[in-house]
Structure 1
Amino acid sequence: MIGPSSDPAELIAHLETLRSEENIAGMARFGIVTGRALGISNPDIRAIGRLAKRNHVRAMLLWRSDIREARLLALYTAEPKRLTLDEARHWADDFNSWEIVDCAADLFVEARLDELISEFAADEREFVRRTAFAMISGAAVHRRKEPDAAILAWLPLIEAHSGDSRNFVRKAVSWALRSIGKRNRACHGPALKLAKLLAESPDKTARWIGKDAVRELAGEKLLARLR
């Protein structure tokens, strides 16, 4: 029976019993790295995490397994208040999939490891750079009490990396810009202004990001919500 006392080996053994070849094939079609995957859905992994409860030391050990589901379980059961910058950097060295990045970004935001944002944005590795912009998006959405000025301070970083044409980076940059713009009326104007600026850029990628963001930020549905 899975519970707070379950050790990494027991949790991994339980995950192995849930393996689904059909799901593995489906995940591959969504660009998820499946070489070390068991084909278990994220909601099911989260459910296991709720049973296992948070345990930071165990999460560190789960991560070392190199199994997709064990690493997601590590992210869901790590303790944000105990997560250090060096631990986050160590995990980032292993990032090879957008879904792992996006789950890790949520944890890093909760742990308030904001100094990683500029550091990771400067990193040339595709998935590490994606982490920076996934973190910006997460902070814009989840930190409702954060001063808007702190959120808007990331707009220059978005502009600076709007020319990165790699698929998982450009989508995350657009995501970050749109998340800031959707936060509230105070953030909407500056984000839309940057989106329009990028939409007129001579750079193909920046132009795509700008148009993608303008399409959502200038939409009537969003404008009605922000009024």
Structure 2
Amino acid sequence: MKPTVAAVIKELRALANPEKVDFKQKKFGVIAQNALGIYQKDLKELAKEIGKNSTLAKALFETNIYEARLLCSKLFNPKDLTEDLMEKWVVTFENWEICDSFSMGVFARSPLAIPKAIEWSTRTEEFEKRASFATIAGYCMADKKAANSTFEQFFPLLYQAADDQRIYVKKAVNWALRSIGKRNVDLNKRAIEEAQKIKQLEFKSAQWIAKDALKELEKETVNILDYPRSIYRPKK
């Protein structure tokens, strides 16, 4: 397939299934405008076939077709990301799926990840605010060499947002906290301490965030990733 907008849209329409639109809405709470009904696995296969192409990705986003925008997040090279593009895209997020696809696949892999995550942490709109914490969660995997101090700066943001009762915000705050706590043993200890602080807040959202995070982070079998490996798994 020649990687043109017309060719890609033709391929997307061939994959379309209206029943999947209804299924994703009922099963996963994914409500999207102009959706064709295509699962992530099929979009990933298509993205692999096409390869990274930022120009094509941006053009696909402009079609306003939901799955074309999801595909954009898989084709766009994070090295080409600008602050203007981040702001243009984040305000369009209408559900957790597209928010997380961009946050993890593009934003978290960009040098702009940290400043924008910090900025967005106080946004009013649900999925703009979720993008902050989804980007933090993604950054925990994207930058395997970052120092612990890089992640410790996020703890005040998590604490501040723990009073947000909206499901997709509180889940992202919890996700970010757990992700930080699984990087290495030292951040695990710090994340547990932060969870205990959040647990002292009176908000129901804070209680859930803290208890759910502690349930995983305090397990003996918690999957600690040992990043940066040069410190936590030094070669002998």
TM-score (norm 1): 0.93
Give the AA of the match of 1:104: F
1:42 aligned residue: 40
Q: Name the CA distance, whole Å, in 2 between partners of 1:74 and 1:35.
A: 16
TM-superposed deviation, 1:34: 3.6
What's 1:6 paired with?
Answer: 3
Q: In the alignment, is residue 130 of structure 1 matched against residue 127 of structure 2?
A: no
Distance 1:34 1:207 in 2: 30
Counterpart for residue 57 of structure 2: 59
Equivalent residue pairs, number: 224
CA contact (8 A) 2:199 2:210 kept: yes
Conserved in 1, the CA contact under 8 Å of 2:182 and 2:225?
no
Alpha-carbon offset, residue 22 of structure 1: 2.3
Unaligned runs of 5+ in 1: none
User: Larger deviation: 184-193 or 35-44?
Assistant: 35-44
Partner of 1:215: 215
**Alpha-carbon distance in structure 1 between the residues aligned to 2:173 and 2:47:** 30
Q: Tell me which amino acid in the other structure corresponds to 2:17.
A: S
Question: Which digits, 9 at most, give the CA deviation of each residue in 1:95-149, with x for residues without a partner?
Answer: 1110101011121111221211111112111000000000111111332111111
Separation (CA, whole Å) in 2 of partners of 1:170 and 1:111: 24
Give the C-alpha shift of residue 202 in structure 1: 1.4
Is contact 2:178–2:216 with CA below 8 Å preserved after alignment?
A: yes
Which amino acid in structure 2 is aligned with residue 172 of structure 1?
A
Question: 1:117 touches 1:132 (CA, 8 Å); kept in 2?
Answer: yes
Task: Tell me the residue number matched to 1:142.
Answer: 142
Determine the structure 1 residue equivalent to 2:13: 16
The question of 1:168 aligning with 2:165 is answered: no
- Alignment of 1:109 with 2:113, yes or no, is no
Deviation at 1:223, TM superposition (A): 7.6
Separation in 2 of the partners of 1:173 and 1:112? 21
Question: Percent same amino acid at aligned positions?
Answer: 33
Task: Mark the CA change 1:89 to 1:225 in structure 2 (over 3 Å): closer, same or farther.
Answer: closer
Compare 130-139 and 16-25 and name the one that shifted more: 16-25
SS of 1:221's equivalent?
Answer: coil
Q: Which residue of 1 aligns with 2:156?
A: 156
In the TM superposition, residue 225 of structure 1 has moved relative to its aligned partner by 8.1
- How much does 1:170 deviate? 0.4
Matches of 1:87 and 1:214, distance apart in 2:
36
State TM-score, norm by structure 2: 0.90
| CA positional deviation for 1:33 | 1.6
Query: Does residue 83 of structure 1 match 2:55?
Result: no
The 2-side partners of 1:119 and 1:191 are apart by: 21
Contact 1:141 1:180 in 2 (8 A): no
1:184: which partner in 2? 184
Unaligned runs of 5+ in 2: 227-231
**Match for 1:9: what amino acid?**
A
